[in-house]
Amino acid sequence: MLALVLLGCQKKNELKSGPREAKHKTSTQLSRMEIQSIKDHGYEFVVTCEGSCDEECVFVDTGLNIQECSCDGCHVEVMLVGEGPSEGRILTDGAAHRLLNTLIGDYEDAFLGELQNYLSAYDEKPEVTQYSIVRSPSFFGVRYHLREGDGTEETVTFTAQGPGHPTYTVTCDGGCDDPTESCRERFIVGAPPQVECTCEGTCAMKISGPPIGG
């Protein structure tokens, strides 16, 4: 049975914390043991570029390095969203890079090839403004947040059961009954993790990849 569980458009409360809303003290130190403990605990790891540049603090060409920000005054930041003593903790710079390297591990480029293929359909390549990682022993998922030149934002999610297993592309498209909500994919951390759409309405999930269970 495929460990990936995909849910329909069930309406749930939005996560109350976000990478730019947290008021927790930034930590720049993290031991190897802490990294392993956090990796296996069950979190969504929200990764952003934070700081200031002459133009904008964003990820540079994701075809080269998803962990690189656009200028020296702009750094990688990881926020842990989940249940446990480290929930809400923010890691920056070296600690963030060490954690990301451990999370990505055998998955090599965190679906960058799939992302570049997905973006090839755009006339103008969107910016990656943030991405989220969820990992368990039999699940690896990355949700990329994209922003087009006109400010339109959307997400695309890639998942796999493990290194060397088929990759699935998951998108949620359509409208929400509640106009204050947006139709996106969302991780539900559990055993196993799940992917669902964020609202009810015409918001519908599309899955691309090999037949599930085939």
Average pLDDT of the residues in 63-84: 83
Residue 54 pLDDT greater than 90, yes or no = no
pLDDT band at 176 (very low <50, low <70, confident <90, very high): very high
pLDDT band at 93 (very low <50, low <70, confident <90, very high): confident
Q: SS3 for 16-49, per residue?
A: CCCCCCCCCCEECCCCHHHHHHHHCCCEEEEEEE
Average pLDDT of the residues in 151-156: 91
Q: How many angstroms separate the CA atoms of 170 and 205, rounded?
A: 7
pLDDT at residue 42 in the model: 76
Q: How many CB atoms lie within 10 A of CB 12?
A: 12
Give me the residue spans of the domains in the chain. 5-208
Which residues is 90 bridged to in the sheet?
A: 26, 79
First CA to last CA distance, the chain: 10
Q: How many angstroms separate the CA atoms of 73 and 75, rounded?
A: 7
Average pLDDT of the residues in 99-122: 87
Strand, coil or helix: 95 = helix
Nearest to 154 by CA among 125, 126, 177, 135: 126
Residue 84 pLDDT greater than 80, yes or no = no
Strand, coil or helix: 188 = strand
Q: 147 and 129 in contact (C-beta within 8 Å)? A: yes
DSSP 8-state secondary structure symbol assigned to residue 66: T
pLDDT tens digits along 181-201? 999 999 988 778 889 999 999
Average pLDDT, the chain: 80
Task: Please name the amino acid found at residue 28.
Answer: T
Strand, coil or helix: 7 = coil
Non-local (6+) Cβ contacts of 212 within 8 A are: 2, 4, 6, 168
